[in-house]
Each structure stands twice: as structure tokens, then as C-alpha cells.
């Protein structure tokens, strides 16, 4: 466990040693503000909830999370430091989990900085703060699932742009599998059971419960399974490399 935290602290420090982290945080906060208050019509809704805030997260994370995680292993391979890292007295699994946790903590920090939205909705009305907490928890696990997939694609190549594109495609598939227009189209030629099976693999399907304030163990298991599978695949790729 100590080795994991050493790797995580090293990786987290590398984020804030350059202005890239601060630029990302500013862009993230600006985009969440735009999608919540302008595109999401927060004030026009006339309700004390953050549905306009959380509803955009699967799409917002589609670009921002791969941008954070694309360098995790691609940069190590490009710079030739991956051999040095993996020959240290740590296991590959500890390095993978350490790097993943560092990036997940960074994304959690970015999410925590959106607290003015929570203050705003509490000033304007009387929202269900339990529902808001569940939404934040679901958003954190959603970001973790995207990040784990990005970690996997980053291990496949030394080119960060290629890793970014592969991660976006993988995450987009997990969105579209349960996206209403797509499922409505599939119903025309496939059985409802098949459509429900495909939709069960979608992050949208499992994130909806959190937005409604329901913390279902099945949804938690889904996100943890995606994270576990992607990190396991990352270990296999690194061992083969």
C-alpha cells in the first residue's frame, strides 16, 4: 500500500508542477458553468435541483477525462522511463493503481471545485441535498470508469493523441449503448430483451440512478467492474510490452 501512495504522490505532483493542471481546472469549471446555466437552462427550469448540472457530465467527461489520462503510460513509454519505473522495487499492479488513483484524485478535486453550484441552488431554493450527494458520487465513479479506460488505451501506444482518440471512442460506445435515440432505433429491429442487455452496458443507464438520488449497489458494481476490468487489461498490455 505504501508503494501505491508513493507512486500516486509522484504522479499527482507532476500534474501541478506544470500549468497544464491549472488550465484544465479553469476549462472544466467554465464548461460546467456554461452547460449548467446556459445550455442546461438552470434558471428557466424553475426547480431547486442540479439535473441541469449532472445531465451533461457523461458528455463533458468524454473529452476532459481522456485529456487528463492520455499521458499516464504513453508519456512514460515515449520518454523511455517506463523501464526504469517497472524495474523499481514495486509491482506493475502497484504502479498502475498508483497512477490511476493520482489522476482520479485530481478529477475529484476538479469536481469538488464546483461547490458554488451547490451553494447557488441552496440559496435559491430547498433542494434535496441527499440527491445532490448521490449525483456527485455517481459523477466521481463515472469519471473513474472513463479514466480507467483511458489508462488502458494509454498503455497501448506511446502517442498521447492516439491514446486520447482511442479513449474517446471507447467512452463514446459506453454512452451510446444506453442513449435514448440509439435504443429507440434498435427497438425497431431488435427484441426488447436484446436492447435492454445492450443498454445495461451503458454508463448513462447506471448514472441515471445516481442523478435521481438512488445509490444502487448494482450501479456501484457496474462502475467498479469497468474500472477493475480496464486496469486489469492495462496490466496485461504492460506485461506483454
pLDDT tens for each residue of 119-161 = 888 888 788 888 999 999 999 999 999 999 999 999 888 888 8
The ranges assigned to domains in the chain are 2-240
- What mean pLDDT is reported for the chain? 85
pLDDT of 198 reads: 74
| pTM, two decimal places | 0.90
pLDDT of 83 reads: 67
Q: Which range among 185-189, 210-214, 217-221 shows the weakest confidence by mean pLDDT?
A: 185-189
Q: Calculate the CA dihedral of residues 207, 213, 217, 219 and round it to 10 degrees.
A: -10
Distance CA 99, CA 72 (A): 7
* Closest CA relative to residue 127, chosen from 46, 65, 187, 15: 46
Average pLDDT of the residues in 181-187: 70
pLDDT of 127 reads: 83
Average pLDDT of the residues in 214-233: 92
Query: Residue 94, SS3?
Result: helix
- Cα Rg, the chain, nearest whole Å: 19
Cell (9 digits) for 216? 444502487
* Closest CA relative to residue 25, chosen from 129, 114, 89, 135: 114
Q: Which range among 24-33, 48-57, 76-85, 203-212 shows the weakest confidence by mean pLDDT?
A: 76-85
Handedness of CA 91, 95, 101, 104 (dihedral sign): negative
Residues in the chain: 241
Q: What is the pLDDT of residues 3-44, one digit of tens each?
A: 888 888 888 888 888 788 888 899 999 988 888 888 767 777
Distance CA 143, CA 136 (A): 10
Q: What is the pLDDT of residues 74-130, one digit of tens each?
A: 777 776 676 676 677 778 888 889 889 999 999 999 999 999 888 888 888 788 888
pLDDT band at 225 (very low <50, low <70, confident <90, very high): very high
Contact 232, 151 (CB under 8 A): no
pLDDT of 114 reads: 92
* Closest CA relative to residue 27, chosen from 54, 53, 51, 61: 61
Containing 168, the helix (H) or strand (E) segment is helix 160-176
Amino acid at each position: 500500500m505504501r508503494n501505491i501512495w508513493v507512486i500516486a504522490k509522484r504522479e499527482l505532483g507532476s500534474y501541478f508542477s506544470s500549468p497544464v493542471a491549472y488550465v484544465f481546472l479553469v476549462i472544466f469549471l467554465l464548461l460546467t458553468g456554461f452547460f449548467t446555466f446556459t445550455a442546461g437552462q438552470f434558471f428557466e427550469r424553475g426547480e431547486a435541483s442540479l439535473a441541469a448540472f449532472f445531465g451533461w457530465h457523461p458528455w463533458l467527461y468524454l473529452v476532459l477525462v481522456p485529456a487528463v489520462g492520455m499521458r499516464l503510460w504513453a508519456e512514460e513509454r515515449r520518454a523511455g522511463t517506463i523501464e526504469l519505473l517497472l524495474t523499481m522495487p514495486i509491482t506493475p499492479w502497484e504502479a498502475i493503481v498508483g497512477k490511476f488513483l493520482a489522476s482520479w484524485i485530481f478529477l475529484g478535486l476538479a469536481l469538488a471545485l464546483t461547490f458554488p453550484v451547490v451553494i447557488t441552488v441552496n440559496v435559491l431554493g430547498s433542494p434535496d441535498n441527499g440527491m445532490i450527494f448521490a449525483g456527485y458520487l455517481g459523477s466521481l465513479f463515472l469519471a473513474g470508469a472513463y479514466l480507467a479506460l483511458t489508462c488502458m488505451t494509454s498503455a497501448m501506444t506511446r502517442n498521447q493523441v492516439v491514446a486520447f482518440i482511442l479513449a474517446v471512442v471507447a467512452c463514446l460506445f459506453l454512452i451510446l449503448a444506453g442513449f435514448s435515440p440509439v435504443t429507440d432505433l434498435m427497438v425497431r429491429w431488435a427484441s426488447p430483451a436484446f436492447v435492454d442487455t445492450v443498454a445495461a452496458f451503458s454508463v448513462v443507464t447506471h448514472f441515471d440512478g445516481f442523478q435521481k438520488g438512488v445509490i444502487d449497489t448494482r450501479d456501484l458494481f457496474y462502475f467498479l467492474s469497468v474500472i477493475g476490468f480496464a486496469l486489469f487489461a492495462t496490466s496485461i498490455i504492460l506485461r506483454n510490452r
